[in-house]
Structure 1
Amino acid sequence: MVDDPDPPPPDQDPPADRPGRRPPRLRRRPLPSRDEARRRLRAFSRFHPTPGQLVAALLTAALGVALVAQARVTEEAGLQQLRETELVALLDDVTTRAQELGVEVAQLEDDRSRLLGSEGDEAAREAARQRLQSYQILAGTVPVEGPGITVLVEDEGGVITQTMLLDGIQELRDAGAEAIQVGTVRVVASSYVGTGDQGEVLLDGQALSTPYTITAVGDAHTLAGAMAIPGGFSDSLRGAGAGVTVVEADTVLIDALHEPSEPRYAQPVPPTQAP
């Protein structure tokens, strides 16, 4: 006969997997007293940082001050960061543009006075003729002459790219060129620059060959200043090994013509009638 095992002592905890066992309760620590809180604060005030921590804090503070100073300098710099040649070209461009706008305003006021006066019909015909000439010049359908510059590019090494040529055309336009010719191609609003199968530069689908000749009609001094901007068209070509010569003249001739084509998508908007 086997004796029954002894029962567990009363003070022994039952097994954890026994059914009906309640989880132990978490006891909250009591809030520190005033004296204990003061002791903790005094202990925190006696904190002594290491030399590494001090160096890291100083570097962080210096970096923050430098970033704030750089941001303020960047915001307040403005024209102070431009070079002297860039400032001169910008000033000439603004002055020329202001003069052109003044002349245009005076011309429009004169046209309005003549149209409202006794010479209305004749003035209207003259204004229409002048406007037609302006449109023909912009469209590149008539030869033009006037003051301007001629840019000769000697590129024996073939360093010029379509991006460089496009930058040069854009710089002349920004400087107020009224007509531009590259080689035998007239530059108009629809002109495009590309690259051929052999790597040659194309303008409106026509291959250009060295030496490249760029002719522009406009204020000769302003156009020449645009070609002399550091980092611009001439500077980039010279840096790549090409030779660039800019010649100002009282009269240059642009005789290349552009054959206009009918637009495929753009259509004029019919005028609206006032009620």
Structure 2
Amino acid sequence: MSGPEGPGAPAGGASRGPAAPRSPWRRLWHAGRPRATRGQLLAGLLCAALGFGVVAQVRQNDAAGLGELRQSDLVRILDDTGERGDRLAEEVRQLEATREELTAGSDSAEAAARAARRRAEEYGLLAGTVPATGPGVVATVDDPAGAVRAASFVSLVQELRDAGAEAVQIGPVRVVASTAFEDPGAGRGPGVLVDGTALAPPYEVRAIADPATLSTALDIPGGVRESLRQLGAQLSVSTPERVEVTALHAVSSPQYARPASPGPAAGGG
């Protein structure tokens, strides 16, 4: 007969004793292992759905600006962009021709004088110190409700400038880079102050540039015409054969600014 089995000897077919204890590192890994619960899975799915919705909405908003326009409106915007590019290319060609004229030939002094005269005339037109004439548009803003404010004229002038307007006049006032538009203040009735001159409706705006480009710029969907219509005002645009801009801007002498004389190079001893 065999003797009784010892306490540590495994018996055939008998149940095993308790498993050997795990190492501390193994217990720590099991304790720190993430356990996904049903609530966490649901929260993750909701976050993913929300992110997808936000991305889709942003893309839809980005495409809505042009996607909702009619084909004729898109054609006008494309033509306007192309004409602006053509104007810039023509300006580059003129500047290159002037440079070649100044650097080539024996009569460079006379060429420089002609270029200076042309440049002085251009600066006079931009500064509003000389009258201007040429093709363009005459826009009339009829404001029976007196709701048009200075901000509308800022947008109107900016749209004309973006379309290439080289000379602009509102009523009897020449519009230049420093022209200020202000509301007249409470109790003073409808109107707008342009460089301190009080103007009342209807307002006449004269601008010289390519008439088709200017008209297109004023008719861009959601632009100046639409914003004026929302205020109860009406914008009418005509394209006469010649537009006269006769108002002049009085240039005041600078009080503080002086021409800077060239100094020594930076870092020189």
TM-score by length of 2: 0.73
1:270 aligns with 2:258: no
Q: Indicate the residue corresponding to 2:153 in structure 1.
A: 165
Counterparts of residues 171-182 of structure 1 (less than 5 Å): 171-182=159-170
1:192 aligns with 2:173: no
Matching residue of 1:110? 97
Deviation at 1:251, TM superposition (A): 1.7
Please provide the CA RMSD for this pair.
Answer: 3.4
Aligned residue in 2 for 1:6: none
Report deviation, 1:223.
Answer: 0.8
Percent identity, aligned pairs only? Answer: 45
| 1:233 is aligned to 2:229 | no
Contact map agreement 1:180 1:216 (CA 8 A) in 2: yes
Aligned to 1:153: 141
Following TM superposition, where does structure 1 have runs of at least 4 consecutive aligned residues deviating by more than 6 angstroms?
A: 53-58, 272-275
Q: 1:61-80: per-residue Cα shift (whole Å, max 9, x none)?
A: 532321233345567x4974
Aligned to 2:28: none
User: Are 1:245 and 2:236 counterparts?
Assistant: yes
SS of 1:186's partner is strand
Instruction: Tell me what 1:22 maps to.
Output: none
Q: Which residue of 2 aligns with 1:3?
A: none
Q: CA deviation at 1:201?
A: 0.8
**Gapped runs of 5+ residues in structure 2?**
1-20, 23-34
Q: Which position in structure 2 is the counterpart of 1:222?
A: 213
Aligned pair partner of 2:87 in 80, 100, 107: 100
- Secondary structure, counterpart of 1:250 in structure 2: coil
The CA deviation at 1:226 is 1.1
Counterpart CA distance in 2 for 1:111 and 1:127 is: 7
The answer (yes or no) to whether the contact 1:153–1:243 under 8 Å persists in 2 is yes
Aligned equivalents of 2:264 and 2:92: distance in 1? 26
Cα separation, 2, equivalents of 1:236 and 1:173: 18
Higher-Rg member (1/2): 1
**CA 1:268–1:91 in structure 2 vs 1: closer, same or farther (change >3 Å)?**
farther
Contiguous gaps of at least 5 residues in structure 1: 1-29, 32-43
CA distance in 2, matches of 1:73, 1:131: 48
Give the Cα separation in 1 of the matches to 2:262 and 2:218.
Answer: 41
- TM superposition shift of 1:250: 3.4
Structure 1 residue 187 displacement after superposition: 0.1
Q: CA deviation at 1:194?
A: 0.4
Q: 120, 129, 146: which one pairs with 2:117? A: 129
Q: 1:205 aligns with which of 192, 196, 201?
A: 196
- TM-fit CA distance, 1:160: 0.6
Residue-by-residue CA offset, 1:21-79 (whole Å, 9 max, x unaligned): xxxxxxxxx99xxxxxxxxxxxx99x888xxx99887655532321233345567x497
